[in-house]
């Protein structure tokens, strides 16, 4: 079971990465070129996944769309981790008052979910993949802070930390040398889970028109623009792509966690 | 509305389980005759003196507010509150004879005093469009109880025409809150507004003319094309007032269930150029863009071939229409050649379009075809009121944009160099002024010349005439084929059952 | 009474957080470019007309004054008036809140009701096929965007079968049965996704129980696995589920926007999007503040519940 989770996770997320890589060097058609004569072409050997309302090749757009999916996921998680992890470690190791202030700040941020931030950001600067990514990333910060803080607290009583503190090692050095490596596996699990949530969130924002412009092939946009009555496959295909990506990274995270959680091992 | 068994059961379970004792069922709405119409854009306010949004007259014009004269579905001017009018030989004095039967829903008569106060209300409106449309009015006076005289500062063919639309509506003098409680003399009265969902009109029981056929008319606002089609297919709507995904028309092909009404509107879908940008001042570049876009293919792709390619800022229902669509046939080679002649290479243009059902897909199409002739286009979608208006329309921050110009006879906007296209052609401006003040026959020839001038100058790229596409369930009749006014006119609509 | 003191301290922090949040929200919203007078006037806007309308709506006042008015107003239950229509925001917000309230109010208990047995089965048979099936289903359910679920549900149950209306809303006062029938598909769409989400927590909670001493003891004295799990597991989970359900309500209050859009429901989300588009900033401010306040309050209440359950937490609090 555990192995199966990891395998499914690897296969699904691997497919997404593979699609993105392939699209860098090759797509069957130009994903941005309209073909007026071939509107809503059915699935066939010339167009494996058919075409959309503009006659654009769906497979080509799907492959290129994988790039956006990955970039949004990576950047959103990076924003959350780069801000959240140091803050979490700092609070976990540090002063109670600072901890309280950060915790309340995170409460406020937590109350501003990605959707709300994206609506406000799009209103301020216009909607783009960038604003969507920032909104998702920033709204993920509190999760990283809380998780990092909790993980840091559990290892602060460990002998090696206490020894380092007694020997006068400066706090930042302890954080980088001892704390970070020990919580890194947990961060990896969190990153995978947040990654899949980011992909799902981007699809939602695309649906509301808060992400990519119409010329940029993204999965959420393809799903939004599909005519579900005339060419339902054009909605189902990006829908499946999103589900595969989310499922893949989620299961990857789950599988990793199962390997890392000693308590679960015990019962098996 | 029919309630199938399962729905009833689920509803009952839900109610019993979670709302015990909270049953406040009102009398069945089935006894009242209701017409439900699906539209796309919900107005933010109903006050048409502060807002230009076309969604307000779409709802209120002719249905709630009446005008002195009315534009019928063929584009002809007909009497409404005024039974007739006289024009003085110098074209400066208009005398309107009011229908003595006419009265407001409040019971007050539509007399000369009410008309004078309403015209003055429009002249003092905050909306600059209304102000400019009414700017030729020098004075308005009551001659008798049922006669009103309007004095113009110069003759104007456009002014009389505008009196059939928003500037000409007659508001009840007792009106104090146009934003939330409009009061007019139409066959329907404003009833209620569930923001974000629907606006309900009810029958004016004391209407002075032929009364409305429905006890209430519900306008539901559904911006998403798929949701609109779902609502029509599931029987929630009697009329889909705007077919915003014409690709889905085959779903309504069953004539035993649906009637599809196809007509035309006053809307020209314009690929507008910003003439304030140096590159756009180059005639060769503008012509190259016109040659580079296959408008018939664009229409087939983006709007399922519904509508018509035109070639200038004139729609087929205008009396001065002529087919100019062949002036720039699709010819990418010629486009490349013109660009080379203009000495332009590696051209990058912004195409900033409002979020509407037609503009983003048209932009995608245009970006692709212009890429074929070597022009890089960056497409950006902007929310219409909060970003497109301030940035593109007022701020002039764009190279190209796409908008459906819905107002009738809006070719005059090209004569205004301050308008957002910044098209400044003194010859054209002179021609328009001449036409406005001309006799009926000269008016037509002058306007034809004006339209040709615009086309030769490639002042814009006119993509197509926006079609009027309405789907009604079988049994609904009286829907006008052409939307010649801004109104979604329900006054003539009836249901067989 | 250290517990009471701790509670008072929490309350003070809560109020402070709300005030800080209100300042942050006010500044963000005021910083939005665009102008309500301009967007209302539309294509006929001129500089003079815009200035006149701004003055009429009191938009020419300084920032601090407007913040002060807003804050003081809210304390008196007056959330201001929409610039565009002049109607009070409270009167506009109440019906919207009701719609979102019904959505969340039905979805949360229903998804718990579905998730609990699913999670139990998944934990009980976690190494046999029922567990695997439930697990796989919950993974897949979580991976499908809720608006896609809603769209497909519309096509099947409204367009093809005609059992329910495709979209729109009817108030409870108009007709109870029509009100309910309009809510079935939106609620079901949320429940499908949320139940998958909760089922995983329920499963993890039950699996935790399997490793606990009291469960082993119960088993040793002859309790069946079911009885042990259901008795101990449910109690064990109640505490951790409080947090999860809290988070779920919080995320649904805003996340409902997607479902509101699919089903054209006039909820808070639709109101927010419309107000942002019209730049009716008083309304934007109020809706965002209401949503943030609801989440902060939820957090505070959860803290209090925890403190009541486990007084040791009074000292440190949750992370």
User: Which CATH number does the domain housing residue C194 bear?
Assistant: 1.10.3720.10
CA distance B248 to chain A (A): 6
The DSSP line for A81-110 is HHHHHHHHHHHHHS-HHHHHHHHHHHHHHH
Per-residue pLDDT reduced to its tens digit, C257-312: 899 989 999 998 888 888 887 778 788 888 888 888 888 888 888 888 777 776 66
For C2, counting Cβ atoms within 10 Å of its Cβ (0-12 exposed, 13-18 middle, 19+ buried), the class is exposed
Segment holding B203, helix H or strand E: strand B198-203
Residue C141: inside a domain, yes or no? yes
Residue C319: inside a domain, yes or no? no
Mean pLDDT of C54-59: 72
Residues of A in contact with B251 (CB under 8 A): 229-230
Do C131 and C271 fall into the same domain? yes
- Which residue in A has a C-alpha nearest to residue B370's C-alpha? A33
Q: Is B10 on the interface with C (CB under 8 A)?
A: yes
Task: Please give the Cα distance from B388 to C209 (Å, whole number).
Answer: 58
Do C210 and C107 fall into the same domain? yes
C-alpha closest to that of B119 among B82, B68, B52, B156: B68
**Are C52 and B180 an interchain contact pair (Cβ–Cβ within 8 Å)?**
no
pLDDT per residue of chain B (497 residues) written in tens, 0 to 9: 343 444 444 444 444 444 333 333 333 444 569 999 999 988 888 998 888 888 999 999 999 999 999 987 777 888 999 999 999 999 999 999 999 999 999 999 999 999 999 999 999 887 778 888 899 999 999 999 999 999 999 999 889 888 999 999 999 999 988 988 999 999 999 999 988 889 999 999 999 999 999 999 999 999 889 999 999 999 999 999 999 999 999 999 999 999 999 999 999 999 999 999 999 999 999 999 999 999 999 999 999 999 999 999 999 988 899 999 999 999 999 999 999 999 998 999 999 999 889 999 999 999 999 999 999 999 998 888 778 888 898 889 999 999 999 888 889 999 999 899 999 999 999 999 999 888 888 999 999 999 999 999 999 999 999 999 999 999 999 998 888 888 999 999 999 87
pLDDT at B296: 96
**Are A34 and B301 an interchain contact pair (Cβ–Cβ within 8 Å)?**
yes
Do C56 and C124 fall into the same domain? no
C-alpha closest to that of B311 among B465, B455, B466, B467: B455
**Under the phi-then-psi rule, with left for phi > 0, alpha for psi from -120 to 50, and beta for the rest, what region is C281?**
alpha
Comparing C52 with A222, the larger pLDDT belongs to: A222
Do C63 and C164 fall into the same domain? no
Q: How confident is the model at residue C313 (pLDDT cuts 50, 70, 90)?
A: low
pLDDT at C312: 60
Per-residue pLDDT reduced to its tens digit, A2-34: 677 888 899 999 999 999 999 999 999 999 999
CA distance C85 to chain B (A): 6
In 3-state terms chain B splits into helix, strand, coil percentages (rounded to 5) of: 30, 25, 45
H helices of chain A, in order, are: 2-25, 58-93, 96-110, 114-125, 129-155, 159-166, 171-174, 180-207, 219-225, 233-260, 262-267
Per-residue pLDDT reduced to its tens digit, C235-250: 667 767 777 888 788 7
Do C161 and C275 fall into the same domain? yes
Residue C83: inside a domain, yes or no? no
Task: Please give the Cα distance from C238 to B260 (Å, whole number).
Answer: 57
Residue C152: inside a domain, yes or no? yes
Q: Is the distance from CB of B128 to CB of C41 less than 8 angstroms? A: yes
> Considering C48, C75, C102, which residue would you say is the last residue of a domain?
C75
CA distance B332 to chain C (A): 34
Identify the chains in contact with B, defined as 3+ C-beta pairs within 8 A. A, C
Do C187 and C141 fall into the same domain? yes
Residue C84: inside a domain, yes or no? no
Number of A/B CB contacts below 8 angstroms equals 70
Question: Can you read off the two tokens belonging to residue A34?
Answer: 């309209």
For B78, counting Cβ atoms within 10 Å of its Cβ (0-12 exposed, 13-18 middle, 19+ buried), the class is exposed
Per-residue pLDDT reduced to its tens digit, A56-85: 999 999 999 999 999 999 999 999 999 999
Do C71 and C128 fall into the same domain? no
Question: Can you read off the two tokens belonging to residue C313?
Answer: 């937490």
State the total domains in chain C: 2
Residue C259: inside a domain, yes or no? yes
The overall average pLDDT reported for chain C is: 82
Do C152 and C299 fall into the same domain? yes
Where do the domains of chain A lie, and which CATH numbers do they carry? 2-267 (1.10.3720.10)
The boundaries of the domain holding residue C167 are 89-314
Do C51 and C96 fall into the same domain? no
**Are C176 and B44 an interchain contact pair (Cβ–Cβ within 8 Å)?**
no
Residue C240: inside a domain, yes or no? yes
CA distance B46 to chain C (A): 8
Q: How confident is the model at residue C80 (pLDDT cuts 50, 70, 90)?
A: confident
Q: Is C96 on the interface with B (CB under 8 A)?
A: yes
Residue C301: inside a domain, yes or no? yes
Do C178 and C303 fall into the same domain? yes
B382 pairs with which residues across the strands?
B354
> Considering C51, C75, C99, which residue would you say is the last residue of a domain?
C75
Number of B/C CB contacts below 8 angstroms equals 191
pLDDT at C45: 64
Q: Find the CB nearest C143 among A100, A123, A246.
A: A246
Do C147 and C183 fall into the same domain? yes
> Considering C75, C99, C121, which residue would you say is the last residue of a domain?
C75
B-contacting residues of C 159-178, CB under 8 Å?
159, 162-169, 171-178
Neighbour tally for C103: CB within 10 Å: 26
Do C71 and C114 fall into the same domain? no
């Amino acid at each position: 079971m555990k192995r199966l989770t990891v395998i499914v996770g690897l296969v699904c997320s691997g497919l997404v990465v593979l699609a993105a890589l392939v699209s860098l060097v090759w797509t069957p058609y130009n994903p941005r070129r309209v073909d007026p004569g071939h509107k809503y072409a059915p699935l066939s050997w010339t167009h494996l996944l058919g075409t959309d309302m503009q006659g654009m090749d769906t497979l080509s757009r799907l492959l290129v769309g994988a790039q956006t999916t990955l970039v949004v996921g990576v950047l959103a998680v990076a924003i959350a981790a780069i801000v959240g992890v140091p803050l979490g470690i700092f609070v976990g190791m540090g002063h109670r008052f600072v901890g309280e202030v950060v915790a309340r700040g995170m409460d406020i941020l937590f109350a501003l979910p990605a959707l709300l931030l994206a609506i406000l950001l799009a209103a301020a600067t216009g909607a783009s993949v960038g604003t969507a990514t920032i909104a998702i990333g920033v709204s993920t910060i509190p999760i990283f802070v809380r998780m990092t803080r909790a993980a840091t607290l559990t290892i602060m009583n460990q002998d090696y930390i206490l020894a380092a503190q007694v020997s006068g090692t400066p706090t930042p050095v302890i954080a980088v040398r001892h704390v970070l490596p020990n919580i890194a596996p947990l961060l990896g699990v969190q990153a995978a889970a947040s990654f899949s949530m980011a992909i799902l969130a981007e699809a939602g924002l695309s649906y509301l028109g808060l992400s990519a412009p119409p010329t940029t092939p993204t999965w959420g946009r393809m799903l939004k623009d599909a005519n579900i009555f005339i060419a339902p496959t054009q909605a189902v295909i990006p829908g499946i792509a999103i589900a595969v990506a989310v499922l893949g990274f989620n299961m990857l995270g789950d599988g990793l966690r199962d390997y890392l959680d000693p308590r679960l091992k015990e019962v098996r | 509305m029919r309630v199938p068994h399962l729905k009833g059961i689920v509803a009952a379970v839900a109610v019993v389980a979670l709302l015990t004792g909270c049953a406040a069922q009102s009398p069945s709405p089935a006894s009242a005759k209701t017409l439900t119409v699906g539209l796309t854009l919900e107005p933010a306010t109903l006050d048409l003196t502060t807002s230009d949004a076309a969604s307000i007259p779409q709802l209120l014009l002719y249905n709630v507010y009446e005008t002195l004269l009315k534009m019928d579905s063929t584009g002809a001017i007909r009497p409404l509150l005024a039974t007739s009018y006289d024009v003085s030989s110098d074209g400066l004095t208009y005398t309107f004879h009011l229908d003595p039967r006419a009265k407001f829903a409040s019971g007050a008569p539509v007399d000369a005093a009410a008309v004078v106060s309403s015209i003055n209300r429009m002249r003092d409106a905050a909306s600059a469009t209304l102000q400019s449309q009414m700017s030729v009015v020098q004075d308005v006076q009551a001659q008798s109880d049922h006669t009103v005289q309007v004095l113009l500062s110069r003759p104007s063919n456009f002014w009389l025409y505008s009196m059939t639309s928003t500037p000409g509506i007659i508001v009840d003098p007792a009106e104090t809150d146009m934003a939330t409680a409009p009061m007019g003399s139409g066959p329907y009265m404003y009833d209620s507004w569930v923001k974000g969902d629907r606006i309900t009109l009810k029958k004016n029981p004391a209407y002075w003319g032929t009364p409305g056929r429905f006890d209430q008319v519900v306008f539901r606002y559904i911006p998403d094309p798929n949701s609109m089609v779902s609502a029509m297919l599931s029987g929630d709507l009697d009329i889909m007032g705007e077919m915003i995904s014409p690709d889905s028309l085959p779903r309504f092909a069953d004539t035993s269930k649906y009637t599809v009404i196809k007509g035309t509107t006053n809307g020209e879908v314009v690929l507008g150029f910003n003439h304030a940008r140096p590159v756009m001042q180059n005639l060769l570049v503008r012509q190259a863009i016109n040659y580079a876009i296959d408008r018939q293919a664009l229409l087939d792709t983006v709007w399922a071939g519904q509508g018509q390619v035109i070639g200038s800022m004139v729609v087929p229902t205008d009396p001065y229409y002529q087919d100019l669509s062949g002036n720039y046939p699709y010819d990418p080679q010629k486009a490349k050649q013109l660009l080379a002649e203009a000495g332009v290479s590696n051209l990058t243009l912004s195409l900033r379009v409002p979020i509407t059902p037609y503009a983003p897909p048209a932009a995608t199409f245009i970006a692709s075809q212009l890429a074929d002739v070597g022009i890089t286009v960056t497409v950006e979608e902007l929310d219409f009121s909060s970003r497109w208006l301030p940035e593109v329309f007022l701020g002039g921050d764009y190279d190209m944009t796409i908008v459906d110009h819905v107002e009738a006879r809006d070719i005059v906007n090209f004569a205004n160099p301050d308008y957002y296209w910044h098209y400044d052609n003194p010859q054209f401006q002179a021609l328009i002024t001449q036409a406005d003040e001309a006799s009926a026959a000269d008016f037509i020839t002058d306007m034809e010349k004006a339209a040709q001038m615009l086309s030769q100058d490639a002042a814009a790229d006119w993509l197509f005439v926006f079609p009027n596409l309405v789907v009604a369930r079988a049994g609904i009749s009286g829907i006008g084929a052409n939307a010649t006014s801004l109104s979604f006119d329900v006054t003539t609509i009836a249901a067989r059952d | 009474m250290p517990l009471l003191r701790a509670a008072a301290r929490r309350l003070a922090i809560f109020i402070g957080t709300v005030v800080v949040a209100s300042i942050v929200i006010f500044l963000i919203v005021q910083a939005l470019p665009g102008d309500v007078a301009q967007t209302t006037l539309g294509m006929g806007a001129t500089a003079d007309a815009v200035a006149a309308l701004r003055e009429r709506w009191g938009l020419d006042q300084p920032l601090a004054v407007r913040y002060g008015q807003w804050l003081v107003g809210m304390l008196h239950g007056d959330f201001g008036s929409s610039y565009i229509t002049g109607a009070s925001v409270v009167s506009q917000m109440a019906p919207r809140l009701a719609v979102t309230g019904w959505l969340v109010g039905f979805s949360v208990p229903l998804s718990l009701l579905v998730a609990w047995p699913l999670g139990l089965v998944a934990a009980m048979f976690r190494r046999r096929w029922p567990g695997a099936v439930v697990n796989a289903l919950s993974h897949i359910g979580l991976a499908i965007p809720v608006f896609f679920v809603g769209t497909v549900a519309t096509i099947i149950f409204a367009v093809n079968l005609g059992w329910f209306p495709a979209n729109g809303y009817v108030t409870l006062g108009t007709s109870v049965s029509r009100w309910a029938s309009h809510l079935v598909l939106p609620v079901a769409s949320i429940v499908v996704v949320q139940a998958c989400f909760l089922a995983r927590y329920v499963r993890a909670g039950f699996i935790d129980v399997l490793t606990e001493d009291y469960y082993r003891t119960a088993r040793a004295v002859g309790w069946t696995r079911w009885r042990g799990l259901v008795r101990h597991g449910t109690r064990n989970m109640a505490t951790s589920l409080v947090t999860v359900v809290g988070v779920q309500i919080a995320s649904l209050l805003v996340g409902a926007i997607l479902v509101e859009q699919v089903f054209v429901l006039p909820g808070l989300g639709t109101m927010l999007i419309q107000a942002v588009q019209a730049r009716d900033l008083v309304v934007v401010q109020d809706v965002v503040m209401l949503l943030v306040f609801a989440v902060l309050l939820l957090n505070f209440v959860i803290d209090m519940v925890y403190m009541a359950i486990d007084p040791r937490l009074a000292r440190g609090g949750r992370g």
